[in-house]
Structure 1
């Protein structure tokens, strides 16, 4: 949780915030009474979201740095532009529920065997204390065979972390690789 971003308290309406080059958001939880409307510099927020898997970050509000977790990022369905972000203040005592990416290692081995991995769910939701939550989970698929299914039950996690998704939910399936057409 080394990333830090500045959140500016806001009173203006969200359309004005977006027009001025900011992304509206909200920070809630912890010692905050209710939720606090904020805005983030759009360029800085886009860069931060592009270069990190970890949903945990430090947020600086009024010269006070607060640990938070990204709970929701909303994007325009057509343009993909950021339109809103919701952050929850992290409390050491309260377990968090977060989505973490699933990284499938060993896909190069599958490709050499003319197999491919069809990913149906690229992330899972986990619950645990913030200091124990991983940035991502990794599953080795190098030994998988045609037709094998990778499910939530295959995700290796420490015993103090609980997966929220159903154990039989399919994350990926090994299929035959599609070869390019020769001209």
Structure 2
């Protein structure tokens, strides 16, 4: 069984699955893209992964994340009218949307980066940016690319650090995934997140 798992984790299909998951989790936020990236990094770190392999995971994660954001932006942008009509009937949701929109306009890079590190934040920030007529696509693309690079670097570093600290791969994975979840939860409950999402 262990040999089969090792074969699966070393397969190019595993890396393809990780990149597809990262691309699509902006549409389906419960996809475990961060966890899969940590698994890939831990496995590479435990099995003589080279610096080149780690860099490929980092760059691939950042590119896949940016691609997903831009696909979502293009998909959501034409629906801005219905979204605004919906928000007009939901004052509390509209207030949260307006607050996040204002923050994205004032500090797009830091806001997208912060959102990328909390659960469902990437999806929400992308949706708000895509339905904001005052948010130029080029500005969103830059903010998305920086946020994706920060997220990928953080996730790869977390996986690699746990691969170095623990002797067993499964312990490294469990601790790495738990640490990422805990950090995201703490950020989601931080004063900044509450200020953005409270009505």
TM bracket (short chain): under 0.3
Give the structure, 1 or 2, with the largest relative contact order (CA under 8 Å, sep 6 or more). Answer: 2
Normalising by structure 2, we get a TM-score of: 0.23
Structure (1/2) with the larger helix percentage: 2
Structure (1/2) with the larger strand percentage: 1
Larger Rg computed on CA atoms: 1
